[in-house]
């Protein structure tokens, strides 16, 4: 009765060899990277793409030891286009892993498509709260933050500093309201006015006139991209820079400083990273980035560089066997690499547990722009987002 | 709400209106006289801003930048008319929309290739910085006051050219009956090219002034273009007078809505409700106004005579 046994084993072995992924893994790695490359927001995509290319340079064009091809996709700042680009990458280009995406709405639309196809998504900017909470997913990782963590840090700083009253301005859309609710989670002082302006508004003179009439102790704004350049230019032209201190999130950074220069000086921001952070991996990234491209990278770029380095660490850990998704997820969870923010741990929702800082725009002859963000002080240590408890994932 | 605050907001409204007028004037002339829908008008505004800033920074002279922007957009406008738009006058509006939308994409990419996607840095010369004291402690930014002055001066000049000169007469005649004017020996093609060029220069003027307060980047023209179309619809297509009145109305209504709608609502409904309704309503205000004008006077407030 022992006789059939060896054939069974042999058969099972043959089947395993035929269907299991090859142990020595594949020869090549394909990464699909989605960002915005056209339109006014294309500047953010440029920072991200340049950073991915620099990461590839640093890795000798081999992510996790495999020759790597990165395919860039342009979502044009539209969720439907983002989904379409992702489908193309998954079906036609057959990418192994996806990364990138600037906008929360694009991310929310695209993640189900990627994870539905059984692939891993490494988000390198968008911090949509649902993905940190109830909609968290085994296959979704973030190298950035949740949207309202930066305003939380600003709120805590303003509270600790004893700023008694605050005038708040933000664009009238979901992220604008999320930022203000993040601020309010830690700031308990008097908010004299909470004003939401039209998305993409050009002229803020009416708001600035009304603001000056109220003469508040401090102003908090969230005006990303061109809106911020406009608001700050007009704020400075109204002569308010030296009169009422201006605090912001996602407004003054290395994508807008080239347009603002001196008018940015004195601006306060809150962020998890700054180009002057004293972390060896970041110092190498910033120095080589400035050398290669002639401008200072922003946090958008830093997170994207970090995303490639995170993928690199995981591909190395699974010895190139990228098709083994379970092993990849386990390797990514370790975050076993030298991040631009320093070593960190992932929370149960695959979002980093990390420090946040207060930054200030100062004149800096060492930066190509002449003005740079400098870290003033640490506001949060090992800060977790407010949504991880809604995430059912345990590991 | 003091009188001084209301007055200052009124000035802000006039200033926004003047800005819109400069863009609307060129667009309404082209639309009314040449019967041409030119979506790429915003691109000429962008080109004006880029000319002014890049030449101004390269030469170190703000005024040289201003001159370069005016001449540059005039030439670019005439070139575009000769190369691309001339063949479109006889086609229907949809073809014109498609072709000029193509021009938008072309110019945005061209600017991105030449200057990069970074928003440009702009700085005011010292003699345009600072404030003027109006009365009882109102300090108004000097640059904004200059914008109002330049815009109103341009309006007067334009009115004079169109109604009191031979060139203006030809323009108006060409709008009424193109074939008859050319039968009388007038080179209507050249006339159209000139009108388009001057329309472009007006957009360039708006762009060079906007470059100091708005963000100068590829695609900046499309952000303001919708409001400009609202101005034209309210003012009446083809009418410069209508463009001026429409622009001032839109500028003042938009500014006043943003400044005072929320505080007024707060006296009627709860603060939280006003917080939601205020911004929503104030951003709709100019479109509601447009709908109202269209319902009462479908041809706009000052429909162009003839044509």
Which is nearest to A269 in space by CA: A282, A250, A254?
Answer: A250
Mean pLDDT of B191-217: 93
Helices (H) and strands (E) in chain A, counts: 13, 14
Give the model's confidence band at A23: pLDDT under 50 very low, under 70 low, under 90 confident, else very high.
very low
B188-201: per-residue pLDDT in tens?
Answer: 889 889 999 999 99
How long, in residues, is chain B?
307
Nearest-Å Rg of the Cα atoms of chain A is: 23
Structure confidence at residue B132 (pLDDT): 86
**pLDDT surpasses 80 at A10:** no
**pLDDT surpasses 60 at A230:** yes
> Residue B87 gets which letter from DSSP?
G
**pLDDT surpasses 50 at B306:** no
Q: Are A225 and A47 in contact (CB under 8 A)?
A: no
Least confident of A115-124, A170-179, A313-322: A170-179
The three-class DSSP label of residue A19 is helix
At A200, give phi and psi (nearest 5°): 75, 15
Q: For the whole model, what pTM was predicted?
A: 0.88
Share in percent of chain B as helix, strand, coil (round to 5)? 75, 5, 20
Structure confidence at residue B307 (pLDDT): 36
Per-window interface: B 231-270 vs A, CB < 8 A: 255-256, 258-259, 262
Structure confidence at residue A14 (pLDDT): 52
Tokens of A225: 């991209």
Structure confidence at residue B4 (pLDDT): 84
Q: CB B9 to CB A260 under 8 A?
A: no
Residue B96 makes CB contacts below 8 A (sequence gap 6+) with B36, B37, B38, B85, B88
At A345, give phi and psi (nearest 5°): -115, 150
Half-sphere exposure of B60 (CA within 13 A, CB side): 0
Residue B27 makes CB contacts below 8 A (sequence gap 6+) with B38, B41, B199, B203, B228, B229, B232
Residues in chain A closer than 8 A to B122 (CB atoms): 233, 259
Q: Are B112 and B234 in contact (CB under 8 A)?
A: no
Tokens of A29: 């790695």
A167-212: per-residue pLDDT in tens?
Answer: 999 998 888 999 999 999 999 999 999 999 988 888 999 999 999 9
Q: Are B212 and B122 in contact (CB under 8 A)?
A: yes
The three-class DSSP label of residue A26 is coil
Which sign does the torsion angle of CA A295, A288, A272, A353 carry?
positive
**pLDDT surpasses 90 at A151:** yes
CA-nearest residue of chain B to A229? B215
Q: Are A22 and A324 in contact (CB under 8 A)?
A: no
Structure confidence at residue B177 (pLDDT): 81
* Residue of A194, A209, A255 lying closest to B12 (CB–CB): A209
**pLDDT surpasses 70 at A336:** yes
Distance CA B300, CA A167 (A): 40
**pLDDT surpasses 70 at A24:** no
ipTM surpassing 0.95: no
* Residue of A198, A213, A256 lying closest to B119 (CB–CB): A256
Distance CA B47, CA B177 (A): 32
Higher pLDDT, B264 or A114: A114
Distance CA B33, CA B89 (A): 11
A276-296: per-residue pLDDT in tens?
Answer: 999 999 999 999 999 999 999
Give the model's confidence band at A7: pLDDT under 50 very low, under 70 low, under 90 confident, else very high.
low
Structure confidence at residue A1 (pLDDT): 42
Which sign does the torsion angle of CA A212, A213, A217, A222 carry?
negative
Summary mean pLDDT of chain A: 92
A233-280: per-residue pLDDT in tens?
Answer: 999 998 899 999 999 999 999 999 999 999 999 999 999 999 999 999
Which sign does the torsion angle of CA B296, B300, B304, B306 carry?
negative
Q: Are B67 and B86 in contact (CB under 8 A)?
A: no
**pLDDT surpasses 90 at B247:** yes
| Preferred mutation among A206, A224, A254, A259 to probe B, highest tally of B CBs within 10 A | A206
B132: part of which helix (H) or strand (E)?
A: strand B131-133
Residue A69 makes CB contacts below 8 A (sequence gap 6+) with A28, A29, A30, A31
Give the model's confidence band at B32: pLDDT under 50 very low, under 70 low, under 90 confident, else very high.
confident
Our CA-based measurement puts residue B120 at a distance from the nearest CA of chain A, in whole angstroms, of 5
């Amino acid at each position: 009765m022992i006789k059939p046994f060896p054939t069974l084993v042999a058969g099972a072995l043959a089947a395993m060899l035929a269907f299991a992924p090859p142990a020595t893994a594949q020869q090549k790695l394909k990464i699909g990277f989605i960002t915005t490359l056209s339109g006014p927001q294309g500047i953010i995509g440029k920072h991200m793409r340049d950073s991915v290319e620099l990461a590839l340079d640093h890795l000798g064009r081999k992510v996790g030891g495999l020759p790597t091809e990165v395919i860039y996709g342009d979502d044009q700042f539209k969720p439907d286009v983002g989904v379409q680009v992702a489908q193309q990458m998954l079906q036609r280009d057959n990418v192994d892993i996806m990364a990138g995406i600037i906008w929360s709405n694009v991310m929310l639309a695209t993640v189900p498509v990627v994870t539905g196809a059984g692939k891993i998504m490494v988000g390198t900017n968008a911090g949509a709260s649902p993905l940190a909470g109830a909609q968290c997913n085994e296959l979704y990782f973030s190298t950035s933050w949740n949207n309202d963590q930066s305003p939380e840090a600003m709120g805590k700083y303003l509270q600790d500093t004893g700023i008694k009253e605050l005038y708040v301005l933000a664009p009238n859309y979901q992220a604008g309201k999320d930022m203000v609710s993040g601020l309010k989670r830690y700031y308990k002082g008097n908010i004299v006015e909470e004003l939401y302006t039209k998305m993409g508004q050009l002229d803020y003179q009416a708001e600035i006139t009304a603001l000056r009439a109220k003469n508040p102790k401090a102003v908090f704004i969230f005006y990303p991209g061109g809106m911020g350049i406009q608001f700050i230019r007009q704020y400075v032209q109204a002569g308010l820079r030296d009169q009422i201190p201006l605090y912001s999130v996602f407004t003054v950074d290395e994508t807008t400083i080239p347009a603002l220069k001196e008018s940015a000086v004195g601006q306060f921001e809150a962020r998890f990273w700054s180009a002057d952070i004293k972390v060896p991996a970041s110092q190498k990234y910033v120095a080589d980035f400035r050398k290669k491209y002639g401008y200072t990278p922003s946090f958008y770029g830093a997170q994207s560089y970090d995303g490639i380095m995170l993928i690199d660490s995981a591909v190395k850990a699974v010895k190139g066997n990228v098709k083994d998704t379970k092993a990849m997820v386990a390797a990514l969870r370790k975050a076993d690499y030298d991040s631009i923010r320093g070593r960190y741990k992932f929370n149960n929702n695959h979002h980093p547990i990390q420090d946040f800082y207060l930054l200030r725009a100062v004149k800096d002859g060492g930066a190509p722009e002449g003005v740079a963000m400098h870290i003033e002080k640490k506001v949060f240590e090992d800060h977790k987002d407010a949504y991880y408890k809604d995430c059912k994932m345990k590991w | 709400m003091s009188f001084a605050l209301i007055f200052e907001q009124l000035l802000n409204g006039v200033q926004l209106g003047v800005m819109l007028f400069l863009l609307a004037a060129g667009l309404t002339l082209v639309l009314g006289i040449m019967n041409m829908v030119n979506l790429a008008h915003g691109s000429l505004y962008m080109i004006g801003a880029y000319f002014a800033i890049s030449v101004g920074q390269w030469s170190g002279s703000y005024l040289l930048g201003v001159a370069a922007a005016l001449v540059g957009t005039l030439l670019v406008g005439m070139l575009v008319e000769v190369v691309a738009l001339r063949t479109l006058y006889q086609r229907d509006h949809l073809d014109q929309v498609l072709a000029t939308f193509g021009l938008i994409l072309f110019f945005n990419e061209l600017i991105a290739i030449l200057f990069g996607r970074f928003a440009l840095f702009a700085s005011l010369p010292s003699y345009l910085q600072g404030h003027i004291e109006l009365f009882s402690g109102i300090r108004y930014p000097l640059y904004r006051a200059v914008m109002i002055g330049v815009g109103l001066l341009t309006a007067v000049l334009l009115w004079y050219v169109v109604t009191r000169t031979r060139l203006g007469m030809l323009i108006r005649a060409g709008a009424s009956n193109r074939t008859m004017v050319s039968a009388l020996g007038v080179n209507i093609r050249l006339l159209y090219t000139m009108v388009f060029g001057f329309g472009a220069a007006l957009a360039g003027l708006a762009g060079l002034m906007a470059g100091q307060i708005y963000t100068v980047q590829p695609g900046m023209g499309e952000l303001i273009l919708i409001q400009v179309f609202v101005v034209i619809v309210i003012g009446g297509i083809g009418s410069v007078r209508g463009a001026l009145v429409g622009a001032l109305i839109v500028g003042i209504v938009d500014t006043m809505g943003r400044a005072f709608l929320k505080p007024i609502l707060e006296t009627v409904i709860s603060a939280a409700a006003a917080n939601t309704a205020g911004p929503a309503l104030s951003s709709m205000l100019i479109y509601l106004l447009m709908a109202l004008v269209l319902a009462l006077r479908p041809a706009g407030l000052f429909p162009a005579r003839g044509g």
